[in-house]
Structure formats: structure tokens, C-alpha cells
Structure 1
Amino acid sequence: MTRDTESGSAPKPAAPADAKTVAKTATKPAKKLSAAETARGIRGGSKPAPKHIHNTPQPKRTTPLTPAELALGWAHSARFFTTAAQLHQLPFNELPEVAFVGRSNAGKSTAINTLAQQRQLAYASKKPGRTQHINLFQLGPMDAPNMLWADLPGYGYAAVERAAKQRWQEVMARYLEQRRSLSGVVQMIDSRHGFTELDKQLLEFVGPRVQTGEVKLLVLLTKADKLNRKESAESLRKAQEVLAELGTDDSDISITLFSALKKLGVGDVAETLQGWAATPEEAAQAADNARAAPREPLTAREAPDEDDEYDMDDPDSRED
């Protein structure tokens, strides 16, 4: 027993607790918690303890972006520019214009959306041939774009009236043969089926300009994830045989396997297309000329209906 340091006397022993008080305290039931209090961890009306947030620092990237990553960043800048139902409705353009063409079930819209990493840049429909407009998209800086993408209607659809089909074949032929700003064509070919007669017919329209080097050609063998290694090699070989007929000393022709689902070839294609874009000086000059020249009001495209909702996780859910 210790002594009180001030008085020097021993502390008084505590009075014994009343037996009834002890018994009452021992048998007093604990407060029943409500479901909300239990979930929040609150007892007796006390406030919940603040959560401790662990801020784990993200490791800083020490390596520069690859050319493919930079190109994909550029492709992501794609935005709608205008739409046209007739060639004369297309605006005058000094920038490189790249046309995306393909059969209505070759995955054209899927490829455009995958390259741009956007869900509905290019509308895709369950109804082949529904889209009968040429849609233009700008890429690059907002104040000085350096390229246009032209999404042409899918061809070869059987559900469209013959007259409409014939009209659009003529429009596409004239576009490929005469559009002055056309500098490149990206043709989608289903890797499982190869070039069809319609695919070869389209090449005949643009072939002379490809052979002179005026228009570059990039062929994407789409849906390549559905092929094994042997089938992929055979698909490439057959496509190269078809394209060999267009090859000249001046032509610029490329071919690659492509899969929107597995992202096969996506970075390489974006890098190729960025290489076709205008230089910053050319883009700035084109922007100045466009601002100075009067032009017709641009046309807004129609909003997609329920059939045009695109699912990036299921690229084969659409036809165009």
C-alpha cells in the first residue's frame, strides 16, 4: 500500500458496493442495436469511426509512349464533321481524306469505332444497307485538323432495292475515281472469305489512282481472331495475290490481319493512318483557307435508333 504524498497518510479503502447495485449492474441487458446501427458499427448513438483511406502511389511511367500508343491517342481525337447523301454535298477539303470501304458485313463500322476507341463514332446497324450517307470525321487538333475519315456505306447488301443499290454503287464509284482530296482507302475484307467479286470491282474503281501513287491502299483482313495460325497465313497469301495486280513502283499498298475483338493490328493501323496525315504546317494552312472561304452549312447526321446501338464487347453484333 502506498501513501498519499501530500498528507503522508494511507488512502482510505473504497466503500464496498451495495450487493443489490452489483447484481442490478451485472444483469442489466445490453442495448439492442437496430439494423442500421449494426451496419454502421454505431453503438449507443456514437458516430462511426472515420474510414482510413490507403493512398497507394501509382508507379510513374519511366518509358516514353510507343509510336502505336501515340497514334491511338491521335485516332481517339476523331469527331463527326458532316454527312452527305450526294457527292456535291461534300465540302471542299484540302486535307488528306481516307475512305473506309467494305461489304456490309465485313466489320467496317466496328473497325472505325475500335481505332477511335469510341462506341458510336460510326453507326452500325442490324439492317445492312440502312446507312446511305457518306459521313466525314475530323482528326487532330480542334483548331487545325490534319485528316478526314470518310465512312462510306457498306456495299453488297441484298435487302436494299435494286435501284437504291445501283445508285449507291455509282456514287461510290464516282467518289473513288474523282474525289480530289481522297488520299487513302482502307478496305475491309472478311478474313474468312477473302476478296469477293464486289471487293475486286471496288478495287477496279480506285485501282488506277492506287497504281500512280495518288491514293494509298490499306487492306484489313477483319475478324482474324476467328482464324487459326494456318488459316491466317492462307488468308494473307490469297489477299496478296489479288493485290499484286495493282502493284507498281509508285503504289503504296499494305495489308494486315485485324481483329477488333482481340485488338490485333489496331495500333499498327493507327500508326499507318497517322503517317498519312497532313503536317502541322499543311493543317494550319488548310484551316486558314477553310475559315476564309465561304461554304454551305454542314449537315448534321440523324441520331441512331435502337438498331444502331453498338456494343464494343460484341463487335460481330452489327453488320455495317
Structure 2
Amino acid sequence: MQVKSAVFVKSAEKASQCPPQTLPEFAFIGRSNVGKSSLINYITNQKGLAKVSGTPGKTKLINYFLVNDGWYLVDLPGYGYAKASKGVRQGFAEIITKYLESRDELTCLFVLVDSRLEPQKIDVDFITLLGNHGIPFAIVFTKIDKIGVEVLRDNIRCYSEKLLESWEELPPMLYTSSSKRKGADELLTYIDDCIELVNTNK
């Protein structure tokens, strides 16, 4: 897939304000500062589409972008920002939960994980929650340029082993680097395949 157009549509404070459910939605989520905005800008080839900030927890709304006039890219608030107040964290959690529960057109939720880190409990718990609720998702490892190939391989194996403690099989996994421009083709191909499957099953 080539991204020929990507335009901002709207920001929603809650799921009920999201656009009508007429197109496939691909949402991006992850812990604060995992590189979500950079990845969105990279795969859409637009530097300023999603706002990149050095301040974790910057995304507080559900942001919708229309891509190729055929599907929505959805930028969800990050989770796990420790410096946010308890009330703010609960608010983020409620927004995310309501979105996941109400969007029938959610075709895949991309859960972004920092490839440099060992499995984080908050990520594993969130992934388990998705599995328990039947939410379609894939894991996207970010910042793969920041570590060596062998370390990356070890980290991926560690993550896989952790998930297999409670999962019968692993979810799809993708590997990206926004700064080195790696992984966009694979991610967009995955989206394209998902859209084709949706259209076939209609």
C-alpha cells in the first residue's frame, strides 16, 4: 500500500463523538513516549500529521485521520504515564475502554512496545485484556534502530516467551524505526491485507 493522502478529520473527547462507523479503523496505542506520533508521521509520510512532543502523555483525545479516502488511522491516548494524576489516568483508561468496546469497525489495534525494554507488566496486562475481550490487535516494536540486531532478537524472544506463558499462540508482530525509516512497508501491507479480508467477508 502507498499512502497517497492522509488528512486530519477530528478529535473526540469520548467514543460517542467519533465519526460514523463507515470505514475500517486502525488504531495506535502504547505507553507514553513509545514513539507513537513519530510512527504515525512516518507511515503516512507527513512530518506534522500527528503532534510529536517530548512531553509524555501529550495525546489526550481520540484523533482521527482519513487515509487514502478508504480507512481511518486512529491515534489513541497513551497509557501508563506515571506523572499524570490518578484522575487523569482513569480518564484516559475510560476513553480507551469505551472506544474499544464501541467501535465495530476497529479492524486492528496496533499496540506499540519499546523494543529496548524487557516485557513491561503494564503492556502485558493490556495485551491480556485485549485477548480476553476479543479485540483484534498486533504488536509493533518501535525504536529497533536503538539496539543491536542480537539484542533485539533476544528482547523479542523474551517478549514472546512471556506472552506464551498465557497465550496459546503469539499475536502478529511488526518491527519499526521511525528515525531510520524501517518497517512502514510491512505495517502498511498488513493493513492492506486486513482491509482485503474485511471486504472479502462482507
TM-score bracket, normalised by the shorter chain, equals 0.7 to 0.9
What CA distance in whole angstroms lies between the structure 2 residues aligned with 1:280 and 1:256?
A: 20
CA contact (8 A) 1:223 1:258 kept: yes
Is 1:223 the counterpart of 2:147 in the alignment?
A: no
CA contact (8 A) 2:33 2:54 kept: no
Out of 195, 198, 206, the position equivalent to 2:122 is 198
Out of 67, 74, 80, the position equivalent to 1:150 is 74
State the 4+ residue runs in structure 1 displaced beyond 6 angstroms: 279-282
Unmatched tracts of structure 1, length 5 or more: 1-70, 286-320
| Alignment size in residue pairs | 200
Find the counterpart in structure 1 of residue 179 from structure 2.
261
- Cα displacement string for residues 57-91 of structure 1 (whole angstroms, at most 9, x for unaligned residues): xxxxxxxxxxxxxx1x2x34221111101111112
- Cα displacement string for residues 184-242 of structure 1 (whole angstroms, at most 9, x for unaligned residues): 011110011133122122213321344xxxx4322111111111121011111122224
Find the counterpart in structure 1 of residue 23 from structure 2.
95
Amino acid at match of 1:85: E
- Cα displacement string for residues 19-74 of structure 1 (whole angstroms, at most 9, x for unaligned residues): xxxxxxxxxxxxxxxxxxxxxxxxxxxxxxxxxxxxxxxxxxxxxxxxxxxx1x2x
Aligned partner of residue 277 in structure 1, secondary structure:
helix
- How far does residue 115 in structure 1 lie from its aligned partner after superposition? 0.5
CA contact (8 A) 1:114 1:266 kept: yes
Is 1:179 the counterpart of 2:103 in the alignment?
A: yes
- How far does residue 135 in structure 1 lie from its aligned partner after superposition? 0.3
TM-score by length of 1: 0.57
What CA distance in whole angstroms lies between the structure 1 residues aligned with 2:145 and 2:108?
A: 26
- Cα displacement string for residues 256-282 of structure 1 (whole angstroms, at most 9, x for unaligned residues): 221112222221111111222268979
What CA distance in whole angstroms lies between the structure 2 residues aligned with 1:253 and 1:78?
A: 27
Amino acid at match of 2:159: A
Out of 79, 90, 113, the position equivalent to 2:41 is 113
CA contact (8 A) 1:173 1:202 kept: no
Aligned partner of residue 276 in structure 1, secondary structure:
helix
Out of 59, 66, 74, the position equivalent to 1:138 is 66
- Superposition CA RMSD, Å: 2.4
Is 1:207 the counterpart of 2:131 in the alignment?
A: yes
Aligned partner of residue 138 in structure 2, secondary structure:
strand
Give the number of the structure whose alpha-carbon radius of gyration is greater. Answer: 1
